[in-house]
Every structure is written in structure tokens, then in C-alpha cells.
Amino acid sequence: MNALVASIHHLFVPRHTNNFKAKLLHHDFLTIYLACALMITAGVSHLQSTQGSILGYATDISPQKLIELTNRERESQGLGTLKKNDKLAVAAQKKAENMFEKDYWSHYGPAGETPWQFILSSGYQYEYAGENLAKNFLFSDGVVSAWMDSPTHRDNMLRKEYTDVGFAVANGVLNGEETTLVVQMFGTPLYPTTEAKNNNDAQPQEAAAPNSAPAKVPQTAVLSEGNTAQTSFYPIFLNVNLIFFSVLILALLLDFYFAAKLNLIHIKGKNLIHILFVSSITIGTFLVIKGSIL
């Protein structure tokens, strides 16, 4: 027990065993941190080149999770839950593909494409329809929280008329940078009974008839698999980062405190500035994991 306490003191508190500077802040330890960071960066680049674009996009977003979170928000407001609609999901997927293809970040395309065209072309006849967009978020809950924080998106999510929803999470290059787009399409069928019937019939029809846009179905499935693979890496990496920043700040604070208390004079950087720097980067990390919505 005493050995453990002594080790912790050695790592965090300036004392004679560490030449009166927290061991975690010695140059050898700082070099190890840099080497680890470089190895992780190289590892991620290697995975990217060997596994295609699976790790090329830092996201942990899945349509299933988005539906759950959307319905949770609606339930909390006393509204009915939305049903997952395959046609709306196809419309959302087409919209995302169109955005990448024509390189725009807007509800309306450069050639005048509207969200409603994608919905109608997927075979969904709507009475009410809506669309929310998001890009470059890391987590599903971040997307839904950002939409809920924006009055217009919130109104869309909590509109009582909607009964169906479809999501697409697509990766591609937008404005020259790797981007993860989330498209959320809402709808209320024009003829509820017919739509419900069509929906029930949709899956066997798609499975039986290869002409009914079969490419979209496997494509959506691949994206979902990609997201599952990412789940294990990015949240863990983010947590490791935050723990590392916290430990570094703690070591700097303790070193700063004891150096002031013991009137230590050292040739070293300014701990106060290191603390401000790491704290600002930590706040920045929280901003970075949030994307933008439209």
C-alpha cells in the first residue's frame, strides 16, 4: 500500500525522488506520450488503408440508434412514436448520395432538387413530409441533441402529424473533405392504409424483384456494418483522450501547486500556460465531436 502511495506521489508530486518535478511531466514521459500518439495515428492510417474507408470517418452513428433517440424525444413530449419506413430510408439515402455527387450542403440541390422529389421518387406518397440534415457528428446522441437544440429542427422532430421516419448515414467527400452525412426524412402517408399495406408488401417485393432498386438495400446494410465496426474504436479513443488530458492537467496542477508551495526554481515551461492550453484543447474536443446541422 505504501509502495503504491509512494509511486503515485512520485508520478504526480514534486519531491526528491523525481528531482522535484512530477515524473509524469519529465521529458522522457512526454516523449513516451508523443510516441504513443504517433503510433495511434499511424495505426489508424494503417487500418484506413487496409480496411478501406471504415475508419476514414470518425462516427459512431447508426440509423437504429437515431430512431430510438428520436422516438424517446417524442415520447417525452407525449407524442406518438415514428415507424421506420424503408421508402423514406431509401429517399434519405438517395438525398445523401445526391449531396455527395453534386457537392452541396443544403436542403435544395444546385439543379433545384427538393427533398420532396427524393421522397416521391422512392414511392412514398406523402401528406406531410420533412427533412433534417446533419454532418460530421461523432455520435448519434450528438445529432439528436443538436436537432433538439435548434427550434426549427426541434419543430420538425416533434411534429405530431408525422408517423414515419427514414434515416441515412452516408460517408463521402463533400467540399473536398471526408464527411459523414445524416439525412432524416419524416412523412405522413397520403393514404395511410395503402401505405401501410405497401410497406408490408415492400420487403418480399424487393427480395423477389431485382429491378426494384435492390442496390440501395445492401448499400444501407454495409453502412450499418461499418458503423458497428467503428463503435468499438472511436468512443474508446475519445474516452482515452479525455482521461489522458485529465491526468496531464492534474499532474500540471499538482506540480504547479507544490512548486509554488516549496518555492522551487526550475528551468521549465510555465505550468499555468500548459494547464490553460490543455484545458482549451479539452473544451475544443467537445466542440469538435459536434458537427453541424441544417
Residue ranges that bind other proteins, judged by CB under 8 A:
25, 27, 30-31, 33-34, 36-38, 40-41, 44, 48, 55-58, 135-138, 176-179, 234, 237-238, 241, 244-245, 248, 256-257, 260-261, 267-270, 272-274, 276-278, 280-281, 283-285, 287-292
Q: Least Å distance between CB 141 and other proteins?
A: 16
Q: Least Å distance between CB 290 and other proteins?
A: 5
CA distance 68 to 38: 37
Q: Which is nearer to other proteins, 169 or 238 (CB)?
A: 238
Q: Which is nearer to other proteins, 137 or 162 (CB)?
A: 137
**Chain length of the chain:** 294
Strand order in the sheet with 164-174: 83-84, 164-174, 177-189, 126-135, 292-293
From the list 284, 262, 264, 281, the residue with the least C-alpha distance to 273 is 281
Q: Which is nearer to other proteins, 9 or 268 (CB)?
A: 268
Q: Least Å distance between CB 119 and other proteins?
A: 25
Q: Per the structure block, which three cell numbers stand in for 186?
A: 419524416
CA distance 293 to 278: 28
CA distance 125 to 120: 6
Q: Per the structure block, which three cell numbers stand in for 207?
A: 427480395
Q: Least Å distance between CB 218 and other proteins?
A: 25
Q: Least Å distance between CB 25 and other proteins?
A: 8
From the list 130, 256, 126, 244, the residue with the least C-alpha distance to 188 is 126
Q: Which is nearer to other proteins, 117 or 282 (CB)?
A: 282
Q: Least Å distance between CB 65 and other proteins?
A: 19
Q: Which is nearer to other proteins, 74 or 274 (CB)?
A: 274
Q: Which is nearer to other proteins, 215 or 267 (CB)?
A: 267
- Contact (CB, 8 A) for 29 and 12: no
Q: Which is nearer to other proteins, 34 or 207 (CB)?
A: 34
Amino acid making up residue 69: L
The single residue listed with the C-alpha cell 439515402 is 93
Strands (E), the chain: 83-84, 126-135, 164-174, 177-189, 292-293
Q: Least Å distance between CB 188 and other proteins?
A: 30
- Contact (CB, 8 A) for 168 and 92: yes
Which CB contacts under 8 angstroms, 24+ apart, belong to 268-275? 268/21, 268/25, 274/248, 275/249
Q: Least Å distance between CB 81 and other proteins?
A: 28
Q: Which is nearer to other proteins, 8 or 262 (CB)?
A: 262
